[in-house]
Structure 1
Amino acid sequence: MSDLKSGKNCPDCKEWKPAQDFGSNATSPDGLSFYCLACNRRRAAISYRARRERAGFKVRPKIDVPDGHKRCPKCEQIKPHSEWHKSSRQWDGLAARCKSCRKVDGRAGYFMRKYGLTEADLQRMLTDQMGVCPICVATRPEHVDHDHETGKVRAVLCFNCNAALGMFKDRPDALRRAATYVEGIVWKPTLVAPGVYRLPS
C-alpha cells in the first residue's frame, strides 16, 4: 500500500492530487480509490442520471450553484441566501422556493381561498376593466371587491374606492344621497314623529 501522506494521479482529470483527495479502497494496491473524490462524485452523478433516464424519468439538467446561493425550482433563478426564508424542514435550512415566488404563490392561494379566483381570472377582470378602477375610472385597481352578503365578486377597485364603499357599508341609498349631495342637493329629512324622520324619496 502507498503512503497515505503521498498522492497520485487521477486518470480521469489527469491531475496529481494528495492522498486525502481520494477515497479508501481496500482492494486497491495503494488502498486508495481509482479516481479522486471530485471525479468519483461527477462520474456517480452521470451514471445516476443515465439510469434514471433509461428508466423513463425526467432528469433536470445539473446546474452549478456558487456558495451562498440556491436555485429556485419555480422561477429557475439562482439567488443569494438572503432571498430565501429560513425553513427547518429543508436540508439546507432554507425554504424550497425563493421569497418572490413564495409571495406570488401566497397571493394566488389567498385569492383562490377567499374569492375562488385564479390569477387568470384576475387578469381577465383587469382586462375587461381596461386596467382602471370602474368607479373612479382613473386609478390602477388592486383590491377585489365582493358582496359581503352573497360573496359574489363584483370587480377590482382601487384602494380609495374600495375603502369608500366599506365606509358607506355598501348601502346604495347612502351612496345615492352622497352623489346628490356632492352635486349640490342637500337631502333634508322630515320629522314625522318624535325621533322618527322620513327621507325624501
Structure 2
Amino acid sequence: MFDSKKCSTCQRALPRNAFAGNKSRPDRLQTCRRECSAEHYRRRQEVKGLSARVKVPVPRGFKRCPQCRDVRSHDQWERNKPSSDGWASYCRACRTERNREASFRRRCGLGQAELQDLAEQQGRVCVICLAAPPEQVDHDHETGKVRGVLCFSCNAALGQFKDRPDEIRRAAAYVEGNVWKPTLVAPGVYQLPS
C-alpha cells in the first residue's frame, strides 16, 4: 500500500492517517480527508438551517462534555467500549442528571420543569399537611395519573393506606377521637361501629 493518498476535494496528497476509515472502499479509506469532510458537513447543516458542533481541541487523557461543555479528565467519565473513543458521551455528573431526568419522565410522565410548575401551583407546600415542602410525586396507582406533589411523610402515609379512601376515613375518625372499638356481641363475634 501507498503511504499517501490524494484527497478528492482539495486534491492534496496527504498521509493515510489524514483520512477516516471506510470499509466499503477498496483502500478502506474515505475519498476526502477528515477536514474536507467536516467542512462539507458544516455547509450541508447550514443549508438545512442547522449548525454543526464546533470541534474543540482537547489534550490527551481528557474529553469535552457536550452538555456542560467542560473539558474533564478521563477519570470523570464512565467507560463505554462500543463508542469510538471508549468513553461515555457525557461526563459522570451530566450523565447522572440525564439518567435521573429520563427515569423520572418514564415513571411519572413529567419533566423537572413541569414538576416545579405543579409545586408552584400548590404554593410550594404539601397539599395534605400544608406545612412541609413538596418533594414526592403522588399518583393514582390504578391509572398512573399524577395527583400532586406531597411531602415524604404524607406520600408514605397514602402508600401505607394503599390509596383506599375508606381506610383513610376510618383513620381520620380514629385520630379525631371517635372511638373505633368493636363491641363484643357473642363469644368471638365482634360488631364494628357504623
TM-score, structure 2 as length reference: 0.67
Cα RMSD, aligned residues only: 3.3
Total equivalences in the alignment: 167
Which of these residues, 72, 91, 99, is aligned with residue 92 of structure 2? 99
Moved more, 153-162 or 108-117: 108-117
Aligned partner of 1:120: which letter? A
Per-residue CA deviations over 1:147-178 (Å, capped at 9, x if unaligned) read 11222211122222211111122222322232
Alignment match of 1:59 (pick from 40, 52, 62): 52
For 2:185 and 2:73, the matched residues in 1 are separated by 72
Report the 3-state secondary structure (helix = DSSP H, G, I; strand = E; otherwise coil) of the residue aligned with 2:147.
Answer: strand
Which structure has the larger Rg? 1
SS in 2 for 1:139: coil
In structure 1, stretches of 5+ residues that fail to align are 1-23, 26-33
Which amino acid in the other structure matches residue 43 of structure 2? R
Unmatched runs of 5 consecutive residues or more in structure 2: 5-12, 20-32
Distance 1:67 1:196 in 2: 80
User: Aligned partner of 2:175: which letter?
Assistant: V
- Assess if the C-alpha contact under 8 Å between 1:49 and 1:59 holds in 2: no
Match of 1:112 in 2: 105
| TM-score normalised by length of structure 1 | 0.65
1:127 aligns with 2:120: yes
Deviation larger for 80-89 or 109-118: 109-118
- Equivalent positions of 1:80-91 (< 5 A) are 80-91=73-84
**For the residues of structure 2 that align with 1:88 and 1:196, how far apart are their CA atoms?**
68
Cα distance between partner residues in 1 of 2:104 and 2:69: 24
Kept in 1: contact 2:104–2:110 (CA 8 A): yes
Deviation at 1:187, TM superposition (A): 1.4
Identity %: 52
The reply on whether 1:155 has 2:144 as its aligned counterpart is: no
Q: CA deviation at 1:198?
A: 4.0
